[in-house]
Amino acid sequence: MVNTEGQLYTIEGFAAALIMLMTAYLVVNATSIYTPGDTHISDMQLEVLGSDALAMINTAPNGTSESPLQTIVETNDGDMFGQIFNNIVNNRTKPGQDHIQFMANVSYVKSDNTVSSTTLLDKTRSLSGGEHAVRVSEWVIVEKKFPDSDSLRKRAVLVEVLLWRD
C-alpha cells in the first residue's frame, strides 16, 4: 500500500523552501547598516571650518590696510598665526572650546621654477597614525624674499594648513 511514488512534489517543495531560507539567512547576516557618522562627513566638516578660518584671517580689516595673513607671511610670525587660527577654529556657540590641532606651511616658487615649502607653524600636537587630517589652502600675494629664491619681489604663495581633530 505504501510506496515511494508520491514523494516527488514533497521533495521538490522541501528543496525550494530550504533554498529560500538559506538565502534569507545569508542576506540578513550580510547587510549591515553603516551609521552616517563616517569619515567622509567629519572630513567635510573639518575642511569647511579650516577654509572659513583661513579666509577670515586673509580678510583685511578695512579697505586700506593689508590682511593679517599677509603680514604674518611677510614677517614669518608663526606664533601669531597659531594664536589667531586657534581662536577662530576652536570657537563654538556653546561655552568651551573645541579641540582641533593644526600645522601650517607656506609654499612658494623658487628661482628655478620648482616649488618648495617653509614651515610657518610647527604642529600643535603630534599627529599619531589613524587620525584623519584634512588640508586647506589659501592664496596670498606678499612681498617677500624666501631663503632660496632670487630677490625681494611680489609673489603669490600658498598657505597650507593641515587640520585634525583631537
Partner 1 sequence: MSDNCGNLSVDFLAGFTIFIIAFIWVATMIPGLLIGLQVHNIDYDAVAYRTGVILVEDPGAAGKVIGGAPCYSGSDVSTVTGPWESQSDKCHIARFGLAVSKDTPGILDENKVNRFFCWTVSADPNDRENFSYPIDYQERAIFGDYPYRFNISLKVVGEERVRSIGDVIPEGDYGYIRRDVQIKGSSNATINKTIIQTKYWSKENVTADVFTIHLNCTKLLGDIRQSPHQVDYRGYQIDPGLDNIIINITDLNTLHYPTSKTTTNLSGITINPGNMPLGAQYTYIDGNATPVGTLPSNVMSNISLVFPAGKVISDSMEVASPQLYITLTFKNTNPDPTINGTYGDWFLNSSMSGPFEYDYNLENVTQPQLQNGVLEVAVW
Partner 2 sequence: MAGLNDDAQWIVLMGFLVSFSLFFLAMVLNQSVVVGQTTAEAVSEFPKDDIRGVRGVIIQSAYMDNPDRTGVQNDIRTLSLIRQNSVVSFSNTTNGAYTYIEIHYNNGVTVYNETWRSP
Residues 6+ apart with CB under 8 A from 148: 110, 111, 116
What cell does 84 get? Answer: 589667531
Interface map 135-154 toward partner 2 (x if CB under 8 A): -xxxxxx-----------xx
**Which one, 44 or 166, has the nearer CB to partner 2?**
44
Q: Where are the beta strands (DSSP E) in 1-132?
A: 100-109, 115-121
Q: Does 44 bind partner 1 (CB under 8 A)?
A: yes
Site for partner 1 in 48-67 (CB under 8 A): 48-49, 52-53, 55-56, 59-64
Q: Does 112 bind partner 2 (CB under 8 A)?
A: no
In contact, 132 and 39? CB cutoff 8 Å: yes
- State the cell numbers at 120: 610657518
Q: Kindly state the number of chain residues that form the binding site for partner 2, as judged by CB under 8 A.
A: 47
Q: Is the dihedral of CA 161, 73, 121, 100 positive or negative?
A: negative
Partner in contact with 53, chosen from partner 1, partner 2, none, beta carbon below 5 to 8 Å by kind: partner 1
CB 98 within 8 A of CB 125: no
CA distances from 62 to 58, 68, 69, 73, 94 (A): 12, 11, 14, 19, 29
Residues that bind partner 1 (CB under 8 A): 5-14, 16-18, 20-21, 23-24, 27-28, 31, 33, 36, 41, 44-45, 48-49, 52-53, 55-56, 59-64, 87-89, 91-93, 141
Interacting residue ranges for partner 2, rule: CB under 8 A:
8-9, 11-13, 15-20, 22-24, 27, 30-31, 33-34, 36, 38, 40-41, 43-44, 47, 51, 55, 107-109, 113-115, 136-141, 153-158, 160
